[in-house]
């Protein structure tokens, strides 16, 4: 008995020693990530003359930047000068660029970021295939986006990215888009007809917050073209849940505990809410996918269909393994989750800012309307040829995306030691590409950079700025936004239908306060006076 007790004690001591050793190894690895590595990167960049705010353990510079952004009024002055860096969207730029020059180092939580706004550096970082893949998405960006919209094509790299991109490309090709134009117009018409009824009931003029309505249009467009006419209600629920999840996620990632390994698995109130919302989101995506699959199995449909979901299912094999290289059911699920949110959010917010700016600049509103009536005519007979001739409308959209890019920052991390222009970039350093600042830099756009002037795009992007890489509203390079053409067609159709029917006037109820949450968006809606023509 005594010997058995000694053996048990010895085993217990060994087990406790091993457990303590494992905990120590993890602790040291954690400290290496959040303390030693940031300080190492800071020393390397300081030796090259790159300054920045003081290092703060784990929380980084986020609290200081956020506090600075909150010093600005809820209703920002909206004059004719847009030369600032939108302190409520990217407060780190307004705070640190004036102090530290054209480049600075700061910390997004534990992640060390070098902020740059030089077009050639942006081009080099984003042109991943041609540069041998020196940069990839940063840990923080991958974590946030994967939690919100899954592991679709935006998340992938290497062969798996190439397979997904190649599978999805045909849906977004110009030829495929020709067949979606009428569906887009139908999606917009049902909502804009409601505007007509409300304006008529109000006596011909109505002060109206268009933000939600524009999201409804964009939601219907993505449903009708990509997931089937009967998918809208499911898609609407999905988008609402993703927005709720976004609010909770961004509140969580601003806290210290979010970045501690293992904390997100603890049953805290916040974590339980995120798990619950995520389960509901995934359930709705599975419903969309399974309903289409079941319809084919039960021979209610002869094929999966020619929309995005149908094309993905036709391309998918039976496997569900995320790690598999082929395009499989997991690929269908992840990309459906991505496109329902990203495909709706980016277009809707650009359209909202466009409507707001047109209400402020009647000259450009009138020019756009004249072009629409001339090219499209009194009847809304849209086709790809007519839409391609809407040059003024395209100029307006480009100028809106210059001033209010949906992605005001892009972040990539160095996969290996490399050189970028005159800088040595050590492995593990994140490059934050300051799109918002670059779009408003007089060095590339001229002294009228702060003016709303769509005319700068009269001869195309290549003549609007020098160099043309200073304009990256859809990112750049092989991993640019896959849906560029889709988005431009949708936005041209919606603006054409609105401007044919209504005059847009400034509303005294509009509060200008753009903010950032995955994309740039208005905080207090978009109040506009809509007057029937």
Predicted confidence at residue 351, as pLDDT, reads 98
Number of residues that this document lists for the chain: 533
Predicted confidence at residue 294, as pLDDT, reads 93
Euclidean distance between CA atoms 528 and 205, whole angstroms: 10
In the chain the domains, ranked by start, together with CATH numbers, are 46-532 (1.10.630.10)
Predicted confidence at residue 138, as pLDDT, reads 77
Decide if pLDDT at 518 tops 90: no
Q: Looking up tokens 């450009």, which residue turns up?
A: 364
Share of the chain above pLDDT 90, in %: 61
Instruction: Output helix, strand, coil percentages for the chain, rounded to the nearest 5.
Output: 60, 10, 30
pLDDT band at 445 (very low <50, low <70, confident <90, very high): very high
State the Cα angle at 53 between 49 and 56, rounded to 5°.
125
C-alpha closest to that of 211 among 483, 530, 528: 528
- For residues 437 and 468, the answer to whether their CB atoms sit within 8 Å is no
pLDDT band at 129 (very low <50, low <70, confident <90, very high): very low
Predicted confidence at residue 512, as pLDDT, reads 96
- For residues 306 and 225, the answer to whether their CB atoms sit within 8 Å is no
Euclidean distance between CA atoms 349 and 161, whole angstroms: 27
H helices within 74-180, ranges in order? 91-100, 119-126, 139-149, 158-168, 174-178
Q: Encode pLDDT of 132-171 as tens digits.
A: 578 888 777 777 778 877 888 888 888 888 899 999 999 9
Euclidean distance between CA atoms 262 and 468, whole angstroms: 44
pLDDT band at 7 (very low <50, low <70, confident <90, very high): low
Decide if pLDDT at 532 tops 90: yes
- For residues 531 and 503, the answer to whether their CB atoms sit within 8 Å is yes
Decide if pLDDT at 379 tops 90: no
Euclidean distance between CA atoms 273 and 279, whole angstroms: 10
Decide if pLDDT at 14 tops 70: no
C-alpha closest to that of 393 among 355, 432, 421: 355
The predicted model gives 258-287 an average pLDDT of: 88
Euclidean distance between CA atoms 126 and 400, whole angstroms: 22
Which of 23-37, 273-287, 414-428 has the lowest average pLDDT? 23-37
Euclidean distance between CA atoms 445 and 129, whole angstroms: 28
Decide if pLDDT at 253 tops 80: no
Predicted confidence at residue 414, as pLDDT, reads 94
The predicted model gives 179-204 an average pLDDT of: 95
- For residues 189 and 497, the answer to whether their CB atoms sit within 8 Å is yes
The predicted model gives 189-193 an average pLDDT of: 94
- What's the mean per-residue pLDDT of the chain? 89
317 in a known ligand binding site: no
Phi, psi for residue 215 in degrees, rounded to 5: -65, -35
Euclidean distance between CA atoms 113 and 100, whole angstroms: 14
Euclidean distance between CA atoms 65 and 109, whole angstroms: 12
C-alpha closest to that of 188 among 495, 446, 433, 411: 495
Which of 97-111, 251-265, 281-295, 415-429 has the lowest average pLDDT? 251-265
Decide if pLDDT at 481 tops 90: no
User: Helix/strand/coil (H, E, C) string of 125-139?
Assistant: HHCCCCCCCCEEECH
The predicted model gives 422-447 an average pLDDT of: 95
Long-range contact set of residues 377-381: C-beta below 8 Å, sequence gap at least 24: 380/185, 380/189, 380/496, 380/497, 380/500
Please tell me the pTM assigned to this model: 0.91
Decide if pLDDT at 16 tops 70: no
pLDDT band at 13 (very low <50, low <70, confident <90, very high): low
Q: Encode pLDDT of 399-408 as tens digits.
A: 999 999 999 9
Predicted confidence at residue 2, as pLDDT, reads 61
Predicted confidence at residue 507, as pLDDT, reads 97
The predicted model gives 277-296 an average pLDDT of: 92
């Amino acid at each position: 008995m005594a010997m058995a007790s000694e053996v048990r004690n010895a085993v217990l001591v060994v087990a406790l020693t091993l457990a303590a050793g494992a905990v120590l190894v993890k602790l040291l690895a954690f400290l290496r990530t959040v303390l030693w590595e940031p300080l190492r990167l800071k020393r390397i960049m300081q030796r090259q003359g790159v300054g920045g705010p003081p290092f703060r353990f784990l929380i980084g510079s986020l609290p200081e930047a956020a506090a600075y952004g909150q010093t600005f009024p809820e209703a920002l002055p909206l004059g004719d000068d847009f030369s600032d860096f939108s302190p409520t969207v990217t407060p780190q730029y307004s705070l640190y660029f004036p102090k530290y020059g054209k480049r600075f180092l700061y910390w997004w939580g534990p992640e060390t970021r070098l902020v740059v706004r030089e077009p050639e550096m942006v081009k080099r970082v984003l042109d991943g295939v041609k540069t041998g893949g020196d940069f990839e998405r940063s840990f923080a960006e991958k974590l946030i986006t994967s939690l919100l919209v899954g592991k679709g094509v935006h998340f992938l790299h290497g062969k798996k990215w190439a397979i997904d991109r190649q599978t999805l490309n045909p849906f977004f090709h110009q030829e495929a888009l020709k067949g979606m134009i009428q569906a887009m117009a139908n999606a917009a018409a049902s909502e804009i007809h409601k505007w007509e009824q409300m304006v008529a009931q109000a006596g011909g003029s109505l002060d109206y917050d268009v933000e939600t309505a524009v999201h409804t249009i964009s939601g219907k467009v993505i449903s009708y073209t990509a997931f089937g006419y009967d998918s809208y209600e499911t898609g609407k629920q999905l988008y609402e849940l993703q927005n709720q999840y976004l609010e909770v996620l961004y509140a969580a990632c601003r806290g210290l505990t979010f970045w501690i390994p293992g904390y997100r698995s603890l049953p805290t109130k916040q974590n339980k809410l995120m798990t619950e919302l995520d389960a509901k989101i995934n359930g709705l995506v599975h419903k969309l996918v399974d309903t289409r699959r079941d319809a084919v199995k039960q021979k209610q449909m002869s094929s999966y269909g020619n929309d995005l979901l149908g094309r993905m299912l036709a391309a998918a094999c039976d496997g569900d393994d995320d790690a598999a290289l082929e395009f499989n059911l997991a690929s269908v699920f992840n990309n459906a989750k991505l496109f329902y949110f990203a495909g709706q959010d980016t277009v809707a917010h650009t359209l909202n800012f466009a409507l707001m700016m047109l209400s402020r600049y009647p000259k450009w509103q009138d020019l756009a309307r004249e072009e629409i009536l001339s090219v499209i005519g009194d009847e809304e007979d849209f086709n790809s040829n007519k839409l391609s001739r809407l040059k003024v409308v395209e100029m307006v959209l480009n100028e809106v995306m210059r001033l209010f890019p949906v992605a005001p920052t892009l972040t990539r991390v160095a996969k290996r030691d490399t050189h970028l222009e005159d800088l040595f970039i050590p492995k593990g350093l994140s490059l934050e590409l300051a799109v918002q600042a670059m779009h408003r830099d007089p060095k590339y756009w001229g002294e009228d950079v702060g003016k709303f002037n769509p005319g700068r795009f009269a001869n195309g992007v290549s003549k609007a700025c020098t160099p043309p890489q200073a304009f990256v509203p859809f990112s750049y390079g092989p991993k640019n936004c896959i849906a560029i053409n889709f988005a431009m067609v949708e936005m041209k159709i919606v603006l054409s239908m609105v401007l044919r029917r209504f005059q847009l006037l400034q509303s005294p109820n509009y509060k200008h306060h753009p903010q950032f949450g995955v994309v740039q968006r208005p905080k207090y809606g978009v109040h506009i006076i809509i007057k029937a023509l």
